[in-house]
Amino acid sequence: MTFYRPKSLLRLTLVGFSLVSLPLILALVTALVYVDRLAGQSQRAVYQAVQAIRNSQVVGEQVRTMERSARQYLVLGDPSFLDNFLDAHAQFQQTVLRLDELPLEESQRSQLQNLVEVERRIHETLRSNPPDAEISAAVVQDFALLNEQARAILAESNRLIDREVDAMQSSALRAQQVLVWQALALIPGTLIFVGLFTVLITRPIRQIDKAIHQLGDGRFADEIDISGPEDLRSVGKRLDWLRRRLLDLEEEKNKFLRHVSHELKTPLTALREGTDLLAEEVVGPLNGEQREVAGILQQNCLYLQKLIEDLLNFSVAQARSATLELRPVHLKALITAVAETHRLAAKAKQLQLGLELDDISLVGDQDKLRTVVDNLVSNAVKYCPPRGRVEIYLRAELGFAIIDVIDTGPGIAATDKDKLFDAFYQGQAVAEGPVQGTGIGLSIAKEFVLAHHGRIEIIESTPVGAHFRVTLPLHQEPVEKETL
């Protein structure tokens, strides 16, 4: 089943506006239809009521005219009065026909039929008998009944206006109820359309924004797929091409780092062995200046070794083929062991090393987690001034293990906070110690934490020093190995 996909965001927006305005247009058309219907009904009702009243009045006048002519005919015996009666009778018949064409009530129509019957009997009697006949004198007395019926018909016609008014009020009330229910149905329908097209328009934009953040964070493994109009899907395809290109460059960079680091280890080994032989005076005794030079060589060999090891670790952290060796890790024991490795350095600077660790275990890569904690603790010891304090906390909260490393050093400058986890970036603070850092320890820590689906962040609420927090899920995916 295929769905209509607009070719552009503009077309999708126009379709959205059209569908959102469609219920409103339908409501307006329906309201116009009901108003027109009510106007036509009221016009017909008023016309019919006026015609009924007018014809009822004319019937009454014609009945009186016929009565007057009939009585004059009976008294005077003049045939001209009979002609006047017959003329009034013809007009009466026409008026009755017009009245009968109107939508009268059954009672009113019955009264009109009785009126016609009485008038017809009077008409036939007077036309068939001489004026001095007894039957003619007797039938004239029926004009009283005829007048009474004419007045009753007029009264019913007057009440017809009230009935039509009530009917129009009922129709108006029904129309009002229909329009109210229609409005109540259209409001959620319109809101549904608005919400639907808001999602359809904003979803690809959010996906593009997410994809850009994904590329900015260096997460090149996940494919970028943008849904929506064709122009935005085309942008998504270009972003995915950029992702693949960046992934290739990243792999080339890591391959280069691995090769360079590996090639540097061979001459470094020879340098280390040579400087150790000189320092141990295996090749002959040394004077004071020569021992000083040998110490400098040893120190720089150690620094160079650290640089190469950091490059290798950084290469492993960045490599997409690296795996996590998942197994249960006792975090309390791991952190305690790392703290012990730094206790001599802390003692040399007269630092207080405080541990407050809960007994927590999780599933993870022990070596990589050790590297994360080691980098954070070594930085805290390195940047903390003499007689300062380094505190390490471990606790569990909402299914996560939280590690806090806090020192009383110079803290982190505001300009450094956004770049501190970038590779080879060194902040403004000056480390205490003979060997300077390489600027990739925190970058390695971040990569290893992200590989465990966790996060590492700088907590800014600490009044002095630096506060790093690592949040790790207590349960990883139930697989033996996981790609970084």
Residues β-bridged to residue 353: 390
Half-sphere exposure (Cβ direction) of 413: Cα atoms closer than 13 Å: 8
Helix (H) or strand (E) holding 177: helix 143-216
What phi and psi, each to the nearest 5 degrees, are found at residue 144? -60, -45
pLDDT at 6: 61
pLDDT at 358: 92
CATH fit for domain 218-321, picks 1.10.3720.10, 2.60.40.10, 3.30.390.50, 1.10.287.130: 1.10.287.130
The domain segmentation of the chain, as residue ranges, is 9-195, 218-321, 322-483
Torsion sign, CA atoms 185, 191, 195, 197: positive
Three-state SS at 167: helix
Q: CA 359, CA 234: separation in Å to the nearest integer?
A: 51
Question: What CATH code would you report for 322-483?
Answer: 3.30.565.10
Strands 389-397 and 352-357: parallel
384: DSSP letter: S
In the predicted model, is pLDDT for residue 484 greater than 50?
Answer: no
Question: What CATH code would you report for 9-195?
Answer: 1.20.120
- pLDDT 10s digits, 426-473: 655 545 554 445 567 788 888 889 888 899 998 876 667 889 999 999
* CATH topology match: 218-321 vs 322-483: no
In the predicted model, is pLDDT for residue 320 greater than 50?
Answer: no
- pLDDT 10s digits, 275-304: 777 777 776 777 877 777 777 777 777 777
Could you tell me the CA-to-CA distances from 356 to 124, 312, 320 in Å, in that order? Answer: 126, 32, 35
Amino acid at 430: V
Neighbours of 287 (CB within 10 A): 7
pLDDT at 437: 52
> Nearest-CA neighbor of 394 among 407, 385, 383, 403?
403
Contacts of 379 (CB under 8 A, 6+ apart): 437, 441, 442, 466, 468
pTM: 0.45
- pLDDT 10s digits, 199-248: 777 888 888 888 888 887 777 778 888 887 777 788 888 888 988 888 88
